[in-house]
Structure 1
Amino acid sequence: MSTIAAFYGGKSILITGATGFMGKVLMEKLFRTSPDLKVIYILVRPKAGQTLQQRVFQILNSKLFEKVKEICPNVHEKIRAIYADLNQNDFGISKEDMQELLSCTNIIFHCAATVRFDAALRHAVQLNVTATQQLLLMASQMPRLEAFIHISTAFSNCNLKHIDEVIYPCPVEPKKIIDSLEWLDDAIIDEITPKLIGDRPNTYTYTKALGEMVVQQESGNMNIAIIRPSIVGATWQEPFPAGKGFLRAIKATPMAVADLIPVDTVVNLTLAVGWYTAVHRPKSTLVYHCTSGNLNPCNWGKMGFQVLATFEKIPLERAFRRPYANFTTNNFTTQYRNAVSHRAPAIIYDFYLRLTGRKPRMTKLMNRLLRAVSMMEYFVNRSWEWSTYNTEMLMSELSPEDQRVFNFDVRQLNWLEYIENYVLGIKKYLLKEDMAGIPEAKQHLKRLRNIHYLFNTALFLIAWRLLIARSQMARNVWFFIVSFCYKFLSYFRASSTLKV
C-alpha cells in the first residue's frame, strides 16, 4: 500500500487553478490514487451561461478522467466547486463557502497564476502576488490545515546562471509593490515596469519571484513548501502517454538545454511534497526544483530533430506544409525566415481563401504563433543549472511502492519515447484525428514534399534565367556547364561502345 496515497484518504483538499492544465492533472491523480479522499474544493471563476455543476461535469467529461470514473464512480460528488475571483478581495467567496473552507481544509495546493509572459504588471501582481498573500491569510485561519504547497516556476530567478533551492530576495519588497500599484495609474506602471523587473525577461518571472517572497514572509507557523517546475509539458506515463508544418524557423541555440518536465512528474512530486511537509513538518520552508536539465539533459537541436522525425513517422492530417524547422541565433536570418517562410505563405494562403469565398485566417494565426515564439526566445537560447538536493532527499525518503506510484525520477525518462507519445497525444486527443488515417496523411505529406521540390526547382530556374539574361559572366558559366555535360556524356557513350 502506498503511504502517500493512504495519507490523502479522508482529507479535504483545496486546489486553486484546478481548471488549468496542471490543476486538472493534479485532481485526476488524487482521485485515481486516493479515491477515499473526503472532498476536493476547487475555486471556479463565474462563467456566463454555465452553472458550477456544469463546469464540474465539463472537466469530468474530458478524456483525462476516464480511468477515474471507473475507479471512483461517485467522483462528481467529491468535487465541491466554489465561486471565486482571484482579482477580488477575499476572492469574492460567499460567507458560507468561506466558513466551510476555513473549518474543513486540510491541504492547500496553490496552482493558480497568470502564465502570460506579456501580462501587464498590475494584472500579474494581482494574480501571482496579491492572490497568494490573500490565500496565505485564509490558510492562517484554518485550524485543520496540515500543509500549504505553493507552485512557483524554476524561472523565477532566471537572471541567475546557477539556482539553488532557496528563496532569493527581490530589490523591492512585495508589500511596497502591492501598495504602489493601488494608486499609480497604468501609464506610470508601464513606464516603470522595465526598471522593476530588471534583468528578468518579463512580468511573469518577476511576479513569481515576488510570490515566493510573500510565501516566506507570510508563512507564520504553517507547514509550507514551494515547488519550482521548469517548462511543463504533456504527461509522460499517466493517465495516458501523450505539426501542421506552420513553423519553419526558430531563433534558438541548438546546444541549449531544453529543460522540459512532464506534467505528471510535477504532479507526483507535488503530492509527495504535500505528504512530506504535513507528516515531517520541516522547520523552514523547503524549495523543490522539478527540472530535467541536470539529471537527464536534452538540447533543443536534438529535440527538434526528434520531433520532425516523429511527425514524418506519424504525420498529422491536412498539414499546411511538410514539417521542417531550422534553428538560428542570427537576428537577420530570423527576420528573413519569418518574412519568407512564415508570413508570405500565410498571406498567399489567405488570398486563396478569399478567392474561394472563405474567411482568411492564416495571417492572424501566424502572427499569434510568431508572437508566442518570440516570447519563448529568452528561454530557448539559454541554459541554467538547478540544484536538486531537496528533491533527491525526498526521493530517498519514499518507500519502493511510493517511488513507483508517485515517480518523479526524470533520469528514467526516455526522450524519444516521450516525444513520440507527445505527438500521438496531439494527434489523438487535441486534434481528435483517427489513427487509421495515417497512410493517407503520409501520402499527403509525400505530395507536399514533391510540391516543395518542384517549387524550389522552378524558383531556381527562373532566377537563373533572369541572371543569364542580365549577366555575361552567368552566360559564360552556363555555356561551360552545358559543354562539360555534353562532353562527359559523349565520352561515356564512346566508352560504352568500345566495351561492346
Structure 2
Amino acid sequence: MSIDTSKSEIVSFFKDKNVFITGASGFLGRLLVEKLLRVCEVKKLYILVRTKKGTSPRERLQSIFQVQVMDKLRSLKPDFMDSIELIEGDCSLPDLGIKAEARAILTEKINVVFHGAATVNFEEPLKKATAINVCGTKDVAKLCHEMKHLTAFVHVSTAFCHCPRREIKEMFYDAPLTCDNLMKLTEALNDEQLAKISPTIMAEWPNTYAFTKAIAEDAIKTYATGLPVSVFRPAIVVSTLRDPIEGWIDNLYGPSGIIAGCGAGLIRVVRVDPNVRSELVPADLCVNGLMAAAYKTSLLGPTNDIPIFNFTPSKENPQTFAEFYQRTLKVGNVMPPTQAIWYLTLTEIASPFWYIIFSFFIHTLPAFLIDAVLVILQKKPKALKIYRKIHKFLEVLAYFATQQWDFQSTNLQALLNGLNTTDRKLFDFDMKKLDWDEMAYANSRGIRKFIMKEDESNIPAGIRKMFYLHILHRVVQLIAFSLVVWLTVSVLSPALLTLIQ
C-alpha cells in the first residue's frame, strides 16, 4: 500500500537537501542511502568512500548499488545515480583524507550529515580502531563546524558503548580516557606496545569496538558542541523487517552468524542465558529512526545539550534469547537450507563450565574425528581449525548474550510521539508494535536467501534432507546414551563398589 508523502514532515525536511554520508558502503549505510533516494527528494548525496583491498573508491561506490536491496529504487528512479557525488577519503586519515577541493564543496553545500563509518570488528587492534572510530568522529565534527548551511548532524553510536554499566540512560558518560588522550597514546605507541597495555586502558570494556565507540561519544561531546547534532544508539541490528524488501542482510555479525552456523549444522551449542532479553532491532526501523533523528535535530538547532536516542527493544514488548532461538528454529524447520551438514538444533547454556563441556562433546570431539578421517584419506584436516574460529566468535558474543541491560528510551519515545500520522507510517520505528514472529521469519528467511544464497525453490529438497539428518541425529544420540550407560554399569559401578568395600 503506497503512502501519500505530501504530508510527511520528514520528506519535506530532506527535500532539496545536500546530504553527506560516511559509512555508506556498510549495512545500515546502504539502507539509509536507498531510503533517502527512494522516498525523499534529496538534491545530492555526497558519499565518502575509501580505497579497499585494491578496489578504487569509484568501483566501491558502484558496488554499493549492485545488491538486491536497491532493486526497488532502480525500478522507481532509474536515474538515481545522478543524485550521487563521490567524495574520496578515509576516516582513518587526518582530516578524513579529503582533498581541499572536495572539502570546499562540502563546507559550501552540505545541509545534513550522517556519520556512520566505523570498524565493527570486536578484535580490531586499538590503534586502528581509534584511528577510525575516534579520530574519524573528531574530524567529522570539525568538518561540520566549517559547513555554512548545516541543519543536522547525526552521529551513529551503539547502545552498548557503555556496556560496563547495567543502566544506560540517554546521556553522556565519562570514559576511562578522553578522546584526545587516547589519540595521543595510540599515536605514540605501536600495536605491540598497545596490545600489552590495552587491558589496563580498556578497564571493564570487553572489546576495542565498544571501547572506542564510547570514546567517540567523548569526541562528539568535546568537538560537536554548538552544532545541530544528536547521537543515535542502535542495539544489535539484524535484517530488515520489510522495507524495502523483507529480510535483507549482508553480514554475519552477532546473532545472524549464529543463525547461519546453526542452519548449516555447524553450531549446535552456544553460551547464552536463555532468560536474558535479546536486544535486537530490525535494520529498516533503525534507518527510519536515524532519519527522524536528523529531522528532530534540525528543529532543535545548534545546542550545547546534545540529545541522545537509545534505539532498543521496548520494555513493553521484550524477547528473551530463548524465545528468539525458538522462533528461529521453528522457521528453520519450515525452510531448512540444503547445505546443512547436521540436523537443526541449538542448546543454550549460561554456565561457562558447562558450555566448555558441552562444546567439547558436541563441537570439538566430532571435529577431531572428522579430521582423523581426513588424515587417513590423506586429505588436509580442517574441521578443528573451523571450530577454533567458531568458538572464538561465540565467546566474543557471550558477553552480550549472558548479561542484561536496562536502557532508558525517553528521548526516543518523545521522538516517535512527535511524528505526525504520515511519518508514523512512512518512518515507523515503534518497537512496541514489533511482531517478533514476523521478525524471526524475515531474519531467518533473509539469512537463507542473501547470506547462504539458497533459492526458495529448493525448500522441499531441504526438508527431505533435514528429515534424514534428524534420523541420523537421533541414532547418534542413542549410541551416545548407550555408551554412557555401558560405561556407568560396566566400568564406573564396579570401581565404586571396590572403593566402598
Match of residue 252 from structure 1: 272
Aligned to 2:290: 270
- 1:352 Cα deviation from its structure 2 partner: 5.0
What CA deviation, in whole Å up to 9, does each residue of 1:17-50 have, x standing for no partner? 111111111111111111x311111111113554
1:357, distance to aligned residue in structure 2 (A): 7.4
1:333 alignment partner AA: W
Structure 1 residues 172 and 58 mapped into 2: Cα distance closer, same or farther (>3 Å)?
closer
Out of 105, 112, 121, which is 2:110 matched to? 105
Instruction: State the shift of 1:313 in Å.
Output: 1.5
Gap change, CA 1:61 and 1:359, over 3 Å in 2: farther
CA–CA distance in 1 between the matches of 2:268 and 2:91?
39
SS at match of 2:209: helix
Identify if the C-alpha distance between structure 1 residues 52 and 463 changes in structure 2 by more than 3 Å, giving closer, same or farther: closer
Matched, 1:382 2:403: yes
Provide the residue aligned with 1:68 in structure 2.
Answer: 73
Distance (whole Å) between structure 1 residues aligned to residue 156 and residue 459 of structure 2: 39
Letter in 1 for 2:273: T
> Out of 27, 31, 37, which is 2:37 matched to?
31
CA change 1:472–1:355 in 2 (3 A) is closer
Q: What whole-Å deviation, never above 9, does each CA across 1:308-357 have from its counterpart, x for those lacking one? A: 12111211112111111111122221112222211222343445556677
Correspondence for 1:300 among 321, 325, 341: 321
Of residues 125, 133, 136, the one that matches 1:131 is: 136
Q: Does the aligned pair in 2 maintain the 1:57–1:76 contact within 8 Å?
A: no
Aligned to 1:321: 342
1:422-437 to structure 2, matched below 5 A, reads: 422-437=443-458
Q: 1:60, 1:76 within 8 Å by CA — same for their partners in 2?
A: no
Deviation at 1:114, TM superposition (A): 1.3
Q: Distance in 2 between matches of 1:51 and 1:364?
A: 33
Structure 1: which 5+ runs fail to align? Answer: 477-500
Offset of residue 457 of structure 1: 2.4
Cα distance, 1:355–1:316 mapped onto 2, change above 3 Å? farther
- 2:50–2:56 contact (8 Å) kept in structure 1: no
Aligned residue in 2 for 1:438: 459
| Unaligned segments of structure 2, at least 5 residues | 1-5, 248-262
Seq. identity, %? 28
Distance 2:345 2:493 in 1: 37
Larger Rg: 1
In 2, the alpha carbon distance for the partners of 1:194 and 1:176 equals 16
Q: Deviations over 1:106-140 (max 9, x none)?
A: 11100011111222222221111111111111111
Q: Quick check: 407-416 or 201-210, which moved more?
A: 201-210
- Spell out the pairing of 1:324-343 with structure 2 (5 A cutoff): 324-343=345-364
SS at 1:398's partner residue?
coil
**Given the alignment, which residue of 229, 232, 239 partners 1:234?**
239
TM-score (norm 1): 0.90
Determine if the alignment matches structure 1 residue 158 to structure 2 residue 163.
yes
Aligned match for 1:175, one of 177, 180, 196: 180
Letter in 2 for 1:249: V
Task: Give the aligned residue type for 1:434.
Answer: D
- How far the C-alpha of 1:293 sits from its partner, in A, is 4.7
3-state SS in 1 of match to 2:118: coil
* Paired amino acid for 1:278: S
Q: 1:400–1:231: structure 2 CA closer, same or farther, 3 Å change rule?
A: same
Q: CA RMSD in A?
A: 2.2
Q: Distance in 2 between matches of 1:351 and 1:18?
A: 45
Structure 1 counterpart SS, 2:158: coil
Residues 267-310 of structure 1: per-residue CA shift (max 9 Å, x gap): 10100011111133264210001000524210111111111121
Q: C-alpha deviations, 1:141-199, integer Å up to 9, x for none?
A: 11011111000111111111111111111243221221122223334322322222222
Q: Tell me the secondary structure at the aligned position of residue 410 of structure 1.
A: coil
Distance 1:239 1:212 in 2: 30
Instruction: Decide whether the 8 Å contact of 2:157 with 2:232 is kept in 1.
Output: yes
Q: Distance in 2 between matches of 1:469 and 1:265?
A: 59
User: What is the correspondence of 1:149-228 to structure 2 with a 5 Å cutoff?
Assistant: 149-228=154-233
- Provide the C-alpha distance between the structure 2 equivalents of 1:393 and 1:470, rounded to a whole number of angstroms: 67
CA separation in 2, counterparts of 1:60 and 1:274? Answer: 23
Give the partner amino acid of 1:433: E
More displaced 10-residue stretch of structure 1: 122-131 or 169-178: 169-178
Q: Report deviation, 1:73.
A: 1.0
Q: Specify the code of the residue in structure 1 equivalent to 2:125.
A: A
Rounded Cα–Cα distance in structure 2 between residues aligned with 1:76 and 1:353 = 51
When normalised by structure 2's length, the TM-score is: 0.89
Structure 1 residue 46 and structure 2 residue 67: aligned? no
CA distance in 1, matches of 2:410, 2:419: 15
What amino acid does structure 1 have at the position aligned with 2:78? Answer: P
- The amino acid of 1:388's aligned partner reads S
2 CA distance for matches of 1:93 and 1:470? 72
2:330 aligned residue: 309
Partner SS, residue 217 of structure 2: helix
Give 1:143's aligned residue.
148
State the Cα distance separating 1:446 from its structure 2 match.
Answer: 1.0
Q: Residues 354 and 417 from structure 1, CA distance in 2 versus in 1: closer, same or farther, beyond 3 angstroms?
A: farther
